[in-house]
Chains A and B, each alone.
Chain A
Amino acid sequence: MSSSANGNNSNNGRVTWEGCSVLLDINDGDRLVFARLSPAAKLKIGNKNCSLQPLIGTPFGSLFQLDGTSLSPFIPSPQADATTNEEIKDDNVESRDNRQLLDNNTAQTLTGEDIEAMRRQGAGGNEIIEALIANSATYDKKTAFSQEKYRRKKQKKYAPKVLMRRPVARSICEAYFKKYPSKIGFLRVDTLSLLLSMANVSANSDILVVDMISGLLTGAVAERLGGTGLVCNSYLGQSPYSMDIVRIFNFSDEICKRIVRCPISDLLSSKESPEQTLQVADVNYVCNVESQSNDPMGATANTDEISHSSGNGISDLGAENAENENIPVIRACKATKAGERAPQETIDSWKENGFSSLLIAAPEMDIWPLPLATCMHNLQLAKMAIGLQISEPWLREYQVLPSRTHPSMQMSAFGGYILTGTKICSSNC
């Protein structure tokens, strides 16, 4: 497999580098944070501010645990998993149940002060957890499943785990859908996947995109193009839509170059487009993680994208204390620009050759009557497309565990509607 000229900086790179963006999954999805790794970067977990430096140069997928004030690599012991499974098969377990449990807060004899004292003496998170278990009057009477649940709950509080994930279309979409879905128009990951395949997004293609969901669609398309072809991020009127999510993808220079912008009006008119300087592309990619000004694209296109500096390029989705309006926008650490204005030769070439795919993500409309139904009807009347279909994807997750397999208790009820079809030649072809 060939790697791009940037080596680790290609989006196939599996090891983190200074300046790359990462998705931090804290305590199994309880909290999701996009961050940019640098020696100075810090992350607040609970009431501790820990450095992200230990994460630089480690493989994506690595697990860390907060013990004391620093993050250190955590390697789950294979024995731990095995014992859990074995206990479940133990006959004694089936005779236990919760009939004697009283919810009156008297089960735990260790107090908050005791725990603080242990901490001051240098006890690690795991020691505290063992102490809590030892001092719980009801622990032994619980079923094995219940004990597991108890242990996991204590671990989340006293020894939180941080999983460092690679930001790719899938993980970015899932994180936003879970924590800040309005920013991506409630586009669920299966719906996004359908958009990409039904539009036949593939290498060496010129793809026209109208992306009103902060750049997630543009980024996902660019990822599938892999440094070939072009994505034209277009917009009605003269103000481009925000594309902040594109920056999270860790795209190589080659891929960034392939993301360009052009107003729809320019694509339609046959007259020369005016020589207007678009300020937006210049302001965003200042190589400075600290300072931050209002993202002008964000401000014009979408008023709830007001950003302010957090000093370390962190974008915390749905954190306990952050309100959505204050989520900072990550600054790119390199000067590569995605979203440059498409040059005239490129626009001319599109007018000559056309685009092979069109993708539109426009969630801001009233849903009655279904805008897609009106669109489909109009396309049918004008005989512009065939094979038209409106679909709604349905996604259900399962919990698969010994003796405990069932659909997940929570489920997403709606992930977006899709209209797909194939354009046909009108009589002018």
Chain B
Amino acid sequence: MADKEATVYIVDLGSSMADCHNGRIEPDMNWSMQYVWDRISTTVAANRKTWNIGVVGLKTDGTDNPMAEEDGYSNISVLRELGPMGMAGLRTLQEKIQPSSTDVGDCLSAIVIAMEMIQTFTKKLKYNRRIFLITNGESHIDDDEEAVSEIATRIKELGIELTVLGVDFDDSEFGFKEEDKTEQKATNEGLLKQLTDACDGQFGTIAEAIAELSFPRLKPVKPYKTYEGPLTLGDPQQGAMSIDVERYFKTHKATIPPASNVVLQQNHAKRSGDGNGLEEIQSSGGNFAAVSNERTYTVNDPTKPKGKREVLYEELAKGYEYGRTAVHISDSEHNITKIETTKGFAIVGFIPQENFEPFVNMGDSCMIVPQKFNDEAAIKLSSFIHSLHELESYAIARLVMKDGKEPLLVILAPHIDLEFECLYDVPLPFAEDVRSYRFPPLDKVVTLTGKVLNEHRQLPSHDLLETMSEYVDAMDISTYEVDDNGERTQEYASVDDLYCPTLHRINQAVRHRAVYPDQPVPPIPPILVKYAKPDEKLEEAAKTRLDDLIETAEVKKVPPKATGKRQRDKVMPRSGLDIDALLKQPEHKRAKIDPNNAIPEFRQIFNMSDDEDVVKDAAKQMGQIIRDLISDSMGDLNYERAIEDLGVLREGMVDFEFAALFNTFLLDLKKKILSGELGGDRRELWWMLKGKGLGLIDNVAVESSNVTPEEAAEFYKK
């Protein structure tokens, strides 16, 4: 993969670039540099040593270039020699990109200098060579047509790709024409156009380039081979089918750039003195240090305080958990639990295509092609592919990617194109991977007694089915995308048009921040959220269908109040026996809450009683039970129980809107826990309570509470 790059950017720093034109409020230089910065920062982000960037300033105040001695090369400065670029380089360069106080400088001369730079740097080695010229074309160019064609020939010889991007250059394809153009600019545009035409380069207006920036760029990835070897059917030693194939990724989740844990380097932090210095350091960047993780290990040891003892990593052996039992595996047997397998790709059998449902796939797809330059494999695999196609079948195969790897089951599908054919495969689940949850049927209702109902409020009426069908048909986007003739014949939201929003959003924001550290995060490019909503025109066209559907469906939002508040639905067993009534009978009546049956009895009092005093009393009893649990707890033994009880109590108090009662109790409990009044050091329990969010009831949860959310948050702080 020899994709070495050498790119030189020639940027116009003439004083006129500091002006604003054509209704823009941004100086031409900042505006056009957007494009350059985006390209450069993309290169910086890739962090590749073989991608080299050089920058030449045009119309600089001084002159600093290898040909400075010669005529016509003044006011051109090499701002940066070709080389790989990092953040430091980016910052240095940024400082140099300032408008000068002159408007003299020959852009063709600058191109010649850039060509020299590339030639010296790349010699004859394989490189992608590029020159970008960004200019407003307002300065005199000293050359004639002959010189232009000479330069063009040389550019072609060197294999350089030249791109000229002009500020407000005319571009009929893009649809831009500057009306009040200076004569000088018009001449120069012509000359540059001639040059790019002659060397097969690109010529365009910068506005188009900037517009293209909003289109995410796809990062090409080298084909990755996941398997290479025979695809067999039957025992190959007995003359069965064996085809040499190669298997590559067809899809593979592109990695979303992860954020890493960093920490401000301490020596810097110290130097910055007060806390205000922090922002400066962060914005200038480069003062963060990576964080490394170190693991320490402990085992239970009742003789030690806290019941735990630290052990050294070197003293530990490898093993596995079997339930709660540790099974030690000695080094010599470290592979004992691994199944012994040999590399291979064997067909297990065939199934009709209609028996496969796409949602059973377990991950990426791969493509299987014949081994390179192997006609025998190619023709045999082709017959296999065509057979699957003709018989509308898929094959199921067992794949072991390398010796010792665990076997996978994949399903193979034929793909036949005009110029291409292959098998695609996706991984299948094993029996252990499927959870057998039961769900009631969607097209009928079965009652407790086993009766089957076809009409029920849970089931759609005939009208609902009808309106739904019409709506779905109206919202069809199978051929909604416009083709080149402006007609809707193409698939809308096809895979080619879907860009991973998070991936490109993070890249965009990070690049932007690297170039403009002081600016806020830029808005999301619209293309990334294009498919977040239905197309407006489509929605408009289907509006009446949707209105019909809404009217027929009669869906009602459950008011938010009802979701958490006291739902006094009577809970009954299958028989419909009234347990509440039973509980009121003398022989089942419970005078005091049994600490061993606290949660059920507390809940029952809550659900059955409307007497506030009874409820308050129950809450008090519950509080005592919780305190006793904590006091009696050997170590952390009762903590989870106490937490569960506290959670139930809190739930109940929210329902009954007894915030004050609960909050008083909790404040007292906190004090007791932290002061060690409840049988010793119970701070760990306090951490647990915090972690579980069992805090004060604030006035958002219960309006009558006199605790604000801020105060509730304050409660957690010591």
Whether chains A and B associate is: no
